[in-house]
Structure 1
């Protein structure tokens, strides 16, 4: 005591050693940082409730498992041993609420989960109690099933080659994946040790859990787009005799789908959504369009589960986040927006083409779209910035313009429901005038007439020429879809739909000449073409005396279309089925034109050349009225050339009938040397439909692809050989002699109703 009292004020007393923490941290890093009670699951319920599964990991894995084992033994002893009834944990946590189906991403809404989260936020001492955990047997079964599926992945060299094929041939079509982000995930997957994989998927982060499902879909699509002379080394991937690459691709795609089903829906991530979309694309290429429509709907629900449909990306910047991590999350936000935009595009397009309902409700509004930003090589060094005019277009630029073209489909889809009896012609005309203005905003490098070819020589822009024809196709499909329900009752709609359909056929032919054989499986080569050719044929079958100036072009493209379908039929199952229907329609069209003779002097149309002559063809006639239209209040499309109206002082002219025919040669009667389909009309015969005064308003709107795919549209041989009905006999025989006695007995077969176009064709024998 004396020594201590006499101690000088400046001297330091001996300090005690700091107390060391004896308890081992067994909570996950997120719960430890937030000072919350952790249930030590993987991922824990707190991270699940906060949608932060990817951040849930443990610093001391062995201590965590030991603690869980001890708690399990103690709980089993307290509740009567291992044979006692398992009692559910009494908890009012957000994690357990989400198990009842409440959306985790909508916690701020006025739902039970949202109300509870507000209460929980005010309780600083509140702790989240664990969800019901699966038994060890369940984890073991999940682990073994997961391992059995990932064992089907090929060796890494094959994966690398097929992934390269996918990004070179497939990803550019719709751009659902960011190659840099995918490569990072692939590297992380390849670095996983066997011991880690042996523990099962629950030991992996959310994205890595679903990554093999995405990888399987990529491999399947890459195998679909292999050329005929593919690498012989791929033969070693086949495990049975007489097995094709298509069979192997189907196996891979189904394995990827099984992984998504195995992991369930509660911990869905963006990778799972991307895998679901690729599965939809694969099924459409296989001709399984009804199945792909169902899969697309399920994928959209998965996307809504993780909040892709919301305008704000729920990412909170962490204080300890580095600038590189912040930049990477900005690009992730752009990717999330892009994927949702792509799903919205497919949803409305499939609904209009197939006559099916949409999964997305248009009343929910349009979320924020991604900006047209060139993706850098390193996302951690540059923030998203809008592409300038000097920057070459990217596949994202193509996707954004595709969405711009397809946006009116939502209004067209709603109009079909609002006007089931096709009476609102005034609204159709108004919408058509607005559709005419789409081409005004077309970027110069996407125009099919007088395009800006500045970037065509760049290797990364090799897709530009084909994209121009694709957009030409898509623009006219929107116009055709608007008028298609009215073709049986309104002459102006027949003219507008016919001209749009003919322009689709021109674009599809030009597009077909730009692709290679390995692209023949693309469903886009059949969908719009089949719709357009059936619509054009139906118009001339039922009204052969109208639109005579376009008959030659329609007949030529009918022949070209049949040739394309015949060429693709070995690789495209939809083309094979559609070809049979076209040959049967050919018989009806032949007989209808043979019996019709109308006072029409059409313009002589030269046959298109075998090359890509479609780029120089006249633009489509978009005006509804056949007479000279009134001056339009809208400016003309910017790509219209001055040569169309040399007397006009304005650099642009409206694409009206009078302007399009200004520079054409005078209309004259066909000469014997002119190849004109109307020359074969030898005698004026009355049209049977005119005598019957048939009420065309009773026919249901024409939807050829819907009937082909959903109603099993087929044909029944009534005595006429399909193989010689059109192609083998030569196109010159289409208009001439009678089609034969068997034509009258020709029938369509399927589940369509009696009021459908096909039912009418079965009773129509001109």
Structure 2
């Protein structure tokens, strides 16, 4: 008894035994639900339950990640049993890094997550097995945090950010409306209020998904704004430069690369809507800086990221965080934002396919999400209290979203144009082409009044926030003409009506480019839209008239005029637009050959065009009004009358062995006899059936299309100054093949004005 009393007395002297407290390493939601937590922020369980905002870790007790980082990074020695304490990574996280989709209810990753949750439902012992997915070591966590801090240090001061973002929203954002000003300002305020201690101790893991990626979006916005920085502000921003002879474009490229470094650092597991906005802005930035190939690749990658987030399916739309009205309304606006972004990605994808002759990243046969609602909304509205109400046409002013929906609908027929490509220049069923053309005309007839070229609704033109309406009208009309050109371009070497449609469509594009260029300040000359429409249109017009100089005489004069004006525009903006500079020599050589083929009928640049191109387009007959057929191919009666007139007017110029075909059935077989004397055409008996598809801009970018210029060659486009004996001294060079138009034009041996 004495011994027992002594023992008791000794225990009392030592005091009560302290209860050991297990370190809580899971988030509060997983700890409460007794689920395994992957310890991300937000974790996988909270993301799957749409509880991202409820996912946080206890501040009182250190998490296992902080404890391990401190022990692994700041101590030179580790205990022998450290490796035994490190548990294996959850199989669902490993599967995610292997590429399995994180969205959708029937994916392999979803089943693995359900199995793991079921296996740990009875207790919390398995919580200690969780580790941060995608992190191979503690050093990686520290490296990510320090790298992230190093990148965000490159952001300029808030004073410069405010000025550059104002330029971006005023001059650039209206084109695609990728960034909503209200949402951006909210994120900017949240970012500005983040304490440095949080970034220094926990890094990006402590931030919400959108806020984590926000610096990348901010870098892209200020980089794009620097490209159009007015000269009056150059002196104010000189302090941002950190190297001698550095230009603002160099600084913009640096900022844009920093943006992509942040996205690469965070990886695909940190994807959010802000990530898609950033990737999209990066594509636009690459186009502005003449990196079209890189822009095409970036669009494809951004589409994949959007599909990873489930933007391609209505069934994968996010759910409200709660059942209260504010959460439901905010969630609905978030859905509209996702659908708008994916719609614009689809527009860019199909457009670049038809320009560059490259495959797209979207398979439209798998379906497409619902288009966003053209909603009535003002910047002063509170989205948590504002429902998504459709805008009333003619009553509510148009928005950038109104223009984007019109742009997408205008390009819808291009999907069917892509489906016709495998059939080549001679489709089996020509009625498919006519059906697509009719759908293009129907969509154009349904253009909202505010965006029409003819008799537009101008009641909102005076509003400062709608200063872009004039440009939007020109761009919308230009896109309509482009769809017609893209539809008929594969058939210009085989069908007269297709050549007529391409000429009229190209002239319509050039007219819209001319109108838009006249109203733009020099800082906007970098816009790639001023390049692609003009370059493709001029090369197509010139090639058609050079190869078929006796057709479409009623459009020759205005065609040569617009070609000359386009060369002048490119020469004016070549120092600001790298694409225009690279294409100027090609355009001069093409226009010189056109002038030699049909005669120089262009006045000075101060003379306005005498022909109303839109009136020509309004008189274009639909596929149902025909006078002659090529098999099942109808031909415009107006076009055929003018073509026949041009044949009669130039019959004396045709050699005695050249027979003008009286019917369209004979036109393909008689193409070589219609060509001027002096041509060396190495084609088969059927004319141009073996000619490669014609994508002028793709040849310029991918085939390095240039002009072999002799030293001290004159810059004029006058064909006589470009002749060396009986051939042109400017020859096309590049990686194009022998079956291309460029090789055919190199063989052209002019022998005087063929048009007479």
Tell me the TM-score normalized by structure 2. Answer: 0.83
Please say which of residues 199-208 and 609-618 is displaced more in the overlay. Answer: 609-618
Q: Give me the whole-angstrom Cα distance separating, in 2, the residues matched to 1:558 and 1:38.
A: 65
RMSD: 3.7
Secondary structure at the aligned position of 1:748 is classed as: strand
Question: In the alignment, which residue of structure 1 is the partner of 2:274?
Answer: 271
Q: Give me the whole-angstrom Cα distance separating, in 1, the residues matched to 2:748 and 2:302.
A: 43
Question: In the alignment, which residue of structure 1 is the partner of 2:737?
Answer: 753
Question: In the alignment, which residue of structure 2 is the partner of 1:130?
Answer: 130
What is the CA-CA distance between 1:229 and the residue it aligns to? 2.9
Give yes or no for the alignment of 1:572 onto 2:598: no
Alignment of 1:559-598 (within 5 A): 559-593=564-598
Q: Give me the whole-angstrom Cα distance separating, in 1, the residues matched to 2:319 and 2:432.
A: 46
The partner residue of 1:214 within 207, 213, 217 is 217
The partner residue of 1:224 within 224, 227, 238 is 227
Secondary structure at the aligned position of 1:507 is classed as: helix
Note the alpha carbon deviations across 1:658-686, whole angstroms, 9 max, x for none: 5999xxxx99x99xxxxxxx999996667
Q: Give me the whole-angstrom Cα distance separating, in 1, the residues matched to 2:293 and 2:209.
A: 30
Alignment of 1:416-427 (within 5 A): 416-419=421-424, 424-427=429-432
Question: In the alignment, which residue of structure 2 is the partner of 1:286?
Answer: 289
What is the CA-CA distance between 1:721 and the residue it aligns to? 1.8
Note the alpha carbon deviations across 1:392-411, whole angstroms, 9 max, x for none: 00000000000010111111
What is the CA-CA distance between 1:513 and the residue it aligns to? 1.4
Given that 1:206 and 1:269 are in contact with CA atoms closer than 8 Å, whether structure 2 keeps it comes out as yes
Q: Give me the whole-angstrom Cα distance separating, in 2, the residues matched to 1:175 and 1:628.
A: 40
What is the CA-CA distance between 1:65 and the residue it aligns to? 4.8
Question: In the alignment, which residue of structure 2 is the partner of 1:554?
Answer: 559
Given that 1:445 and 1:453 are in contact with CA atoms closer than 8 Å, whether structure 2 keeps it comes out as yes
Q: Give me the whole-angstrom Cα distance separating, in 2, the residues matched to 1:329 and 1:752.
A: 51
The partner residue of 1:629 within 623, 626, 631 is 626
Question: In the alignment, which residue of structure 2 is the partner of 1:475?
Answer: 480
Q: Give me the whole-angstrom Cα distance separating, in 2, the residues matched to 1:358 and 1:70.
A: 44
What is the CA-CA distance between 1:523 and the residue it aligns to? 0.5
Alignment of 1:13-162 (within 5 A): 27-47=26-46, 55-60=54-59, 62-65=61-64, 68-69=67-68, 81=80, 84=83, 89=88, 91-92=90-91, 94-106=92-104, 108-109=105-106, 111-117=107-113, 119=115, 125=121, 130-131=130-131, 134=135, 135-162=137-164
The partner residue of 2:403 within 398, 414, 431 is 398
Note the alpha carbon deviations across 1:30-84, whole angstroms, 9 max, x for none: 32454424354544343466676564222425433598559989xx9xx971675
Question: In the alignment, which residue of structure 2 is the partner of 1:235?
Answer: 238
Q: Specify whether residues 419 and 143 from structure 1 end up closer, same or farther in structure 2 by C-alpha distance, changes over 3 A only.
A: same
Alignment of 1:445-464 (within 5 A): 445-464=450-469
Question: In the alignment, which residue of structure 2 is the partner of 1:326?
Answer: 328
Q: Give me the whole-angstrom Cα distance separating, in 1, the residues matched to 2:22 and 2:114.
A: 32
Given that 1:29 and 1:57 are in contact with CA atoms closer than 8 Å, whether structure 2 keeps it comes out as yes
What is the CA-CA distance between 1:152 and the residue it aligns to? 0.8
Q: Specify whether residues 212 and 590 from structure 1 end up closer, same or farther in structure 2 by C-alpha distance, changes over 3 A only.
A: same
Question: In the alignment, which residue of structure 2 is the partner of 1:544?
Answer: 549
Alignment of 1:654-733 (within 5 A): 687-688=676-677, 694=683, 695-718=687-710, 721-724=713-716, 726=717, 733=718
Question: In the alignment, which residue of structure 2 is the partner of 1:190?
Answer: 192
Q: Specify whether residues 714 and 98 from structure 1 end up closer, same or farther in structure 2 by C-alpha distance, changes over 3 A only.
A: same
Q: Specify whether residues 418 and 758 from structure 1 end up closer, same or farther in structure 2 by C-alpha distance, changes over 3 A only.
A: same
Q: Give me the whole-angstrom Cα distance separating, in 2, the residues matched to 1:592 and 1:70.
A: 75
Secondary structure at the aligned position of 1:366 is classed as: coil
What is the CA-CA distance between 1:309 and the residue it aligns to? 1.2
Question: In the alignment, which residue of structure 2 is the partner of 1:409?
Answer: 414
Question: In the alignment, which residue of structure 1 is the partner of 2:361?
Answer: 359
What is the CA-CA distance between 1:722 and the residue it aligns to? 4.6
What is the CA-CA distance between 1:608 and the residue it aligns to? 8.9
Tell me the TM-score normalized by structure 1. Answer: 0.82
What is the CA-CA distance between 1:749 and the residue it aligns to? 1.1
Please say which of residues 415-424 and 450-459 is displaced more in the overlay. Answer: 415-424
Question: In the alignment, which residue of structure 1 is the partner of 2:250?
Answer: 247
Note the alpha carbon deviations across 1:701-757, whole angstroms, 9 max, x for none: 210000011111111025782513x1xxxxxx55x7994428434321111111111
Q: Give me the whole-angstrom Cα distance separating, in 2, the residues matched to 1:60 and 1:85.
A: 27
Given that 1:720 and 1:743 are in contact with CA atoms closer than 8 Å, whether structure 2 keeps it comes out as no
Q: Give me the whole-angstrom Cα distance separating, in 2, the residues matched to 1:737 and 1:63.
A: 80
Secondary structure at the aligned position of 1:63 is classed as: coil
Give yes or no for the alignment of 1:484 onto 2:475: no
Question: In the alignment, which residue of structure 1 is the partner of 2:631?
Answer: none
Question: In the alignment, which residue of structure 1 is the partner of 2:502?
Answer: 497
Secondary structure at the aligned position of 1:176 is classed as: coil
Q: Give me the whole-angstrom Cα distance separating, in 2, the residues matched to 1:51 and 1:410.
A: 35
Given that 1:748 and 1:762 are in contact with CA atoms closer than 8 Å, whether structure 2 keeps it comes out as yes
Given that 2:706 and 2:734 are in contact with CA atoms closer than 8 Å, whether structure 1 keeps it comes out as yes
Given that 1:285 and 1:521 are in contact with CA atoms closer than 8 Å, whether structure 2 keeps it comes out as yes
Question: In the alignment, which residue of structure 1 is the partner of 2:441?
Answer: 436
Q: Give me the whole-angstrom Cα distance separating, in 1, the residues matched to 2:477 and 2:345.
A: 22
The partner residue of 1:204 within 202, 207, 212 is 207
Give yes or no for the alignment of 1:384 onto 2:388: yes
Gaps spanning 5+ residues in structure 1: where?
1-19, 596-603, 632-654, 671-677, 727-732
Q: Specify whether residues 37 and 71 from structure 1 end up closer, same or farther in structure 2 by C-alpha distance, changes over 3 A only.
A: farther
Secondary structure at the aligned position of 2:233 is classed as: coil
Q: Give me the whole-angstrom Cα distance separating, in 2, the residues matched to 1:196 and 1:65.
A: 17
Given that 2:168 and 2:225 are in contact with CA atoms closer than 8 Å, whether structure 1 keeps it comes out as yes
Q: Give me the whole-angstrom Cα distance separating, in 2, the residues matched to 1:383 and 1:628.
A: 47
What is the CA-CA distance between 1:574 and the residue it aligns to? 0.2
Gaps spanning 5+ residues in structure 2: where?
1-18, 629-634, 656-674, 751-756
Secondary structure at the aligned position of 1:195 is classed as: helix
Secondary structure at the aligned position of 1:698 is classed as: coil
Secondary structure at the aligned position of 2:732 is classed as: strand
Secondary structure at the aligned position of 2:457 is classed as: coil
